[in-house]
């Protein structure tokens, strides 16, 4: 437990004790302040640039601004991983993605782990969640919930009920979630318990479908265009150019641009005529929708047909369409906030209810030519965060300290007087956000960020980085590039300073900071499942191996990297003679590191196989590609053995030492591999693991490698495969169950 104990905590402890022992308060008991309720209003993809209190130049949000005006606005609030599910998982657990296991959308949240709602329940809170969830598994830790399936819909959406049934509601999603939230407050809440209520909007997520009442709101507006709309991505990582989230080139005809009928201009718009929201609307909704969009669309089509528009004009037109729709959605969120605040006032709950507004990440409103998020640039790294707590938080206060979504959980726990587990990585803000919202000296001076969604929609590469109050460093492992930004000199992040001699010292410091932050949060890439599906050949081979594993019933499976894959090349003859008849499958992929094998194992890579034995050799690329710390690689191999043990409980794992590499025993790659081997050998103490180390058989007397056996001092020759097979055979033989023939 960390030494957090706010005064609120003490008060709540008193309350819980009282609630537990005396159900009805007696008149002469000392009066205690009841613990605070929390109304946590949360939206999806709401950029700070579209909130009045943050200085929006594109819209007005009077109700959201009221929270800030009567409370506290965080100017430097960041997400840990700028994507939906991961951000939510960070919030629930107070952990970075690599610790809570939800790295990317599509993962399934492990709801059995620690989450703040569960802890709040334990100290007497009633908890409820209404709206978007998007974590795969059902919510845990909530007394009541009603959620959208996956992303949910804007119009006439379905909601999953606690009993698993789905119910379709008529209306607009933001309004419906607000109504459900109000209904819970009015009818379902237990007035004898403090509550933690999460109102989680879908809006303003893509495809930015506004409510009918706001369709015309921006008709006469010309929304201000950001200076970087036409960004050409020079001066930064080469990977920027590969993005697929531009308004210019990745904006779809019906889904984004709201055209009806066939795509008339496929050069400028992607996709076909399908708009899934439109198809859900009632005839009446459709009529009003068409009344708004059709005249504008027809005018655009006429301009296009008359060739009156340049490419840039077209992009600007799309930008206006995008922004007006997005802002219409935001307006409904602001309406929702207004209604909720009004109810708190009317009911008298306002006084002891903390109101929080935030969103899962920021969003690009045309900056860098983009919609969407993911990149560690400011517009999507920043999260809106504001809090109101009458009598406790000073109205109109502004916080400049660096806070992150992993701090939410510990703060909530602290407010409620619940214990903050030592494993939580975020820090409670509870003790310092009153008064002037000045964080103590000991507060963090940099945040760590990591994005893991490789080979996913919008093609944003895996990257991580650090940001302090002035500089930002991003690292792109695919290319090994570092990008450095001076946020004071270049707030739009248009030029990386990584090669600028004037910033050489800063670069050095920031690289050191990145290493420190990775250490602080125990980031070990060797154990974080990672796909290489952005490499076409890899994706193809991985798919092929998965298919093989679904069809074949092998008695032995070889799992590993190129040394395993090459049983198909240099090892072909030996394989044919020694393993084919035994029914063996090759699951090796060239260039894989431990994290890739972990990815494959956790993404159906084992198909339906249930072999007697798995031969596992992996890790030499963790050394070869990045000279990774042996301890970290050993953890990666251990994680693979764990995964194999739980997925194939009846299979014996023949864990192979990583083969020696390099000329002689003093080769640093060789030494690193030796050090890894020394750290994994003990796994054989497990009943299902057998250690085998054929190294000696490959080495000459002086421990050098012969090029006859390893021509490149890493991969085996046919003769090398012969040696490996000889070493394997006696180990494998007793493990194989006799075939019934
Ligand atoms: C959908 C969107 C994407 C968006 C992701 C993730 N496409 O797939 O544009 O990046 O959600 O968003 S859409 O065709 O369905 O509109 S997230 O907020 O859930 O992470
Ligand atoms: Ca989101």
> Cα–Cα distances in Å, from 574 out to 8, 82, 568, 708?
71, 49, 10, 16
Q: Which ligand is nearest to the CA of 104?
A: 1
CA 46, distance to chain mean position in Å, is 16
Residue 594: φ, ψ to 5°: -55, -40
Task: Give the ligand 1 atom nearest the CA of 44.
Answer: 18
Q: Which ligand is nearest to the CA of 91?
A: 2
CA-CA-CA-CA dihedral for 11, 13, 19, 20, to nearest 10: -160
d(CA 288, ligand 2 centre) in Å: 28
Is residue 206 lining ligand 1, measured as CB closer than 6 Å? yes
3-state secondary structure of 166: strand
CA angle 485, 489, 490 (to 5 degrees): 55
Q: Which ligand is nearest to the CA of 460?
A: 1
- The token duo for 393 is 């938080």
Is residue 84 lining ligand 1, measured as CB closer than 6 Å? yes
436, 519, 712, 726: the catalytic one is 712
| Sheet bearing 37-43, strands edge to edge | 166-168, 158-160, 144-147, 126-131, 195-200, 37-43, 353-359, 385-388, 72-74, 397-399
158, 169, 458, 562: the catalytic one is 562
Pocket test for ligand 1, best of 457, 458, 459, 460 (most atoms within 8 A of CB): 457
Task: Give the ligand 1 atom nearest the CA of 87.
Answer: 20
Is residue 44 lining ligand 1, measured as CB closer than 6 Å? yes
Pocket test for ligand 1, best of 105, 258, 453, 460 (most atoms within 8 A of CB): 105
134, 255, 596, 715: the catalytic one is 715
pLDDT at 713: 97
CA atoms of 162 and 190, how far apart (whole Å):
18
> Cα–Cα distances in Å, from 293 out to 157, 271, 286, 315, 321?
22, 18, 10, 18, 10
Residues 695 and 660 sit within 8 Å (Cβ to Cβ): yes
pLDDT at 581: 87
* Sites in the chain below the pLDDT cut of 50: 1-27
Determine whether 715 is an active site residue.
yes
d(CA 206, ligand 1 centre) in Å: 6
Provide the b/e sequence for 228-246 (b: ≥16 CB within 10 Å).
bbebebeebbebbeebebb
Determine whether 562 is an active site residue.
yes
pLDDT at 31: 58
pLDDT at 10: 41
Cis peptide leading into 739, omega within 30 of 0? no
Task: Determine which residue's CA is closest to atom 17 belonging to ligand 1.
Answer: 84
Task: Give the ligand 1 atom nearest the CA of 374.
Answer: 10
Determine whether 434 is an active site residue.
no
CA 651, distance to chain mean position in Å, is 33
Is residue 45 lining ligand 1, measured as CB closer than 6 Å? yes
pLDDT at 738: 81
pLDDT at 435: 80
Strands 556-560 and 613-617: parallel
Task: Give the ligand 1 atom nearest the CA of 256.
Answer: 16
HSE (CB half, 13 Å, CA atoms) of 253? 16
Query: What's the residue count for the chain?
Result: 741
Is residue 207 lining ligand 1, measured as CB closer than 6 Å? yes
Q: Which ligand is nearest to the CA of 370?
A: 1
Instruction: Write out the DSSP string of 419-460.
Output: ---TT--S---TTTSSTT-PPPTTS-S-EEEEE--TTSTT-P
> Cα–Cα distances in Å, from 15 out to 26, 96, 351?
13, 32, 17
Is residue 590 lining ligand 1, measured as CB closer than 6 Å? no
- DSSP designation for 495: S
d(CA 231, ligand 1 centre) in Å: 22
pLDDT at 7: 38
CA atoms of 464 and 213, how far apart (whole Å):
41
């Amino acid at each position: 437990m960390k030494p957090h104990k706010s005064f609120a905590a003490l008060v709540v402890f008193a309350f819980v004790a009282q609630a537990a022992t005396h159900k009805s308060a007696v008149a002469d008991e000392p009066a205690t302040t009841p613990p605070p309720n929390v109304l946590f209003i949360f939206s999806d993809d709401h950029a700070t640039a579209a909130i009045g209190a943050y200085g929006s130049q594109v819209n007005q949000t009077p109700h959201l601004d009221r929270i800030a005006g009567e409370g506290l606005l965080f100017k430097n609030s960041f997400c840990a991983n700028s994507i939906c599910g991961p951000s939510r998982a960070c919030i629930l657990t107070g952990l970075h993605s690599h610790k809570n296991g939800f790295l990317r959308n599509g993962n399934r949240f492990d709801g059995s782990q620690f989450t703040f709602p569960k802890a709040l329940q334990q100290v007497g809170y009633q908890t409820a969640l209404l709206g978007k969830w998007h974590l795969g598994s059902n919510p845990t830790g909530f007394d009541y919930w009603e959620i959208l399936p996956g992303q949910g819909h804007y119009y006439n959406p379905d909601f999953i009920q606690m009993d698993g049934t789905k119910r379709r509601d008529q209306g607009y999603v933001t309004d419906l979630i607000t109504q459900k939230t109000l209904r819970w407050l009015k009818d379902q809440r237990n007035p004898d318990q403090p509550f933690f209520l999460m109102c989680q909007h879908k809006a303003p997520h893509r495809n930015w479908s506004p409510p009918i009442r706001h369709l015309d709101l921006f008709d006469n507006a010309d929304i201000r265009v950001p200076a970087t709309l036409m960004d050409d991505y020079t001066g930064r990582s080469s990977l920027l150019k590969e993005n697929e989230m531009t308004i210019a080139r990745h904006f779809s005809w019906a889904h984004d641009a709201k055209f009806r009928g066939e795509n008339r201009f496929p050069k400028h718009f992607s996709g076909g005529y399908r708009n899934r929201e439109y198809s859900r609307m009632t005839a009446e909704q459709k009529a009003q929708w068409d009344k708004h969009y059709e005249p504008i669309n027809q005018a655009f089509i006429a301009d296009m047909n008359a060739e009156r528009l340049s490419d840039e004009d077209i992009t600007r037109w799309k930008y206006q369409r995008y922004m007006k729709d997005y802002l219409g959605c935001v307006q409904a969120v602001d309406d929702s906030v207004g209604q909720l605040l009004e109810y708190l006032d009317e009911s008298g709950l306002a006084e002891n209810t903390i109101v929080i507004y935030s969103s899962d990440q920021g969003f690009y409103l045309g900056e860098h030519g983009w919609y969407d998020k993911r990149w560690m640039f400011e517009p999507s790294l920043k999260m809106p965060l504001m809090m109101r707590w009458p009598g406790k938080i000073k109205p109109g206060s502004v916080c400049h300290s660096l806070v992150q979504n992993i701090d939410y959980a510990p703060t909530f726990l602290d407010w409620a007087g619940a214990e903050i587990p030592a494993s939580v990585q975020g820090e409670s803000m509870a003790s310092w956000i009153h008064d002037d919202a000045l964080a103590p000296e000991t507060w963090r001076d940099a945040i760590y960020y990591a994005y893991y969604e490789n080979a996913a929609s919008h093609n944003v590469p895996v990257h991580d980085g650090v940001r302090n109050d002035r500089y930002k460093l991003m690292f792109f492992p695919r290319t090994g590039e570092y990008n450095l930004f001076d946020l004071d000199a270049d707030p739009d992040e248009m030029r990386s300073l990584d090669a600028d001699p004037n910033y050489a010292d800063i670069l050095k410091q920031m690289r050191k900071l990145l290493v420190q932050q990775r250490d602080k949060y125990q980031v070990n890439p060797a154990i974080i499942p990672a796909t290489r599906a952005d490499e076409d050949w890899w994706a193809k081979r991985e798919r092929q191996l998965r298919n093989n594993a679904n069809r074949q019933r092998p008695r032995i499976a070889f799992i590993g990297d190129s040394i395993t894959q090459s049983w198909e090349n240099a090892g072909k003859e030996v394989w044919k003679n020694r393993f084919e008849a035994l029914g063996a499958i090759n699951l090796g992929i060239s260039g894989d590191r431990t994290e890739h094998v972990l990815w494959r194992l956790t993404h159906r890579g084992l198909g339906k196989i249930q072999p007697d034995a798995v031969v596992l050799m992996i890790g030499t690329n963790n050394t070869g590609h990045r000279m990774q710390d042996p301890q970290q690689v050993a953890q990666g191999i251990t994680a693979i053995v764990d995964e194999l043990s739980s997925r194939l409980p009846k299979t014996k794992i023949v864990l192979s030492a990583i083969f020696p590499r390099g000329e002689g025993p003093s080769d640093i790659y060789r030494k690193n591999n030796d050090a890894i081997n020394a750290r994994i050998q003990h796994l054989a103490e497990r009943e299902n693991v057998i250690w085998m180390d054929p190294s000696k058989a490959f080495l000459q007397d002086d421990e050098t490698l012969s090029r006859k056996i390893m021509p490149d001092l890493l991969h085996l020759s046919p003769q090398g495969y012969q040696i490996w097979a000889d070493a394997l055979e006696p180990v494998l033989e007793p493990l194989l169950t006799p075939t019934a023939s």
